[in-house]
Amino acid sequence: MEANAISKQEYVNAVAAQRAAEAEVAAARASVRSAEITQGYAAVTAPISGRIGRSLVTEGALVGQGEATPLAVIQQVNPLYVNFTQSATEVMNLRRALAEGRLKRAGDDGAEVRVLLEDGSRHPQAGKLLFADLTVDPATGR
């Protein structure tokens, strides 16, 4: 009978080669995962939905990693927030109308309002007044 035997040195070399190959596979997997993570940085997602304006950065431009670089401006359209100024007299009249019940309340946190568009038409959806700032410009009363 033939003994299918190898020398101890050949066995040690074979085991070492197997372990080296396993280490190379693990390193290659880690390299692939690292590339996937890096590729994920190339996908730009917006924190809000809305309509996007013109791009502030040209395609192919280098933007810094870890730096806040605005790429475009997104206008949020749902919900829509409108900021406007009023004279001190208009604010006092608004508060008086709320207190007297001449304005319809929108829950506990404000009055129901309608936005008049530039052409004089009303926006189809009613809104509610959420916040009134107390800052008044002494030069204009607004």
pLDDT range class, residue 142, cuts 50, 70, 90: low
Query: Residue 21 domain-assigned?
Result: yes
What is the tens place of the pLDDT at every residue in 1-48? 566 778 889 999 999 999 999 999 999 999 999 999 988 877 778 888
Query: Residue 71 domain-assigned?
Result: no
Residue-number span of the structural domain to which 26 is assigned: 1-43
Q: What's the angle, vertex CA 141, arms to CA 138 and CA 142, rounded to 5?
A: 110
What pLDDT is recorded for position 90?
81
Give the number of C-alpha atoms closer than 13 A to the C-alpha of residue 115, restricted to the C-beta side: 14
Query: Residue 98 domain-assigned?
Result: no
Structural domain count of the chain? 1
Is a pLDDT exceeding 60 seen at residue 93?
yes
User: In whole numbers, what is the pLDDT of the chain averaged over residues?
Assistant: 83
pLDDT range class, residue 141, cuts 50, 70, 90: low
81 phi, psi to nearest 5 deg: -110, 135
Query: Residue 87 domain-assigned?
Result: no
Q: What's the angle, vertex CA 70, arms to CA 65 and CA 71, rounded to 5?
A: 90
Reference 53, options 40, 33, 72; nearest CA is 72
Query: Residue 33 domain-assigned?
Result: yes
Query: Residue 15 domain-assigned?
Result: yes
Q: What DSSP designation does 10 have?
A: H
Residues 6 or more apart whose CB falls under 8 angstroms from that of 128 comprise 106, 107, 109, 110, 111, 112, 113
Distance CA 51, CA 54 (A): 10
Query: Residue 89 domain-assigned?
Result: no
Q: pTM higher than 0.75, yes or no? A: no
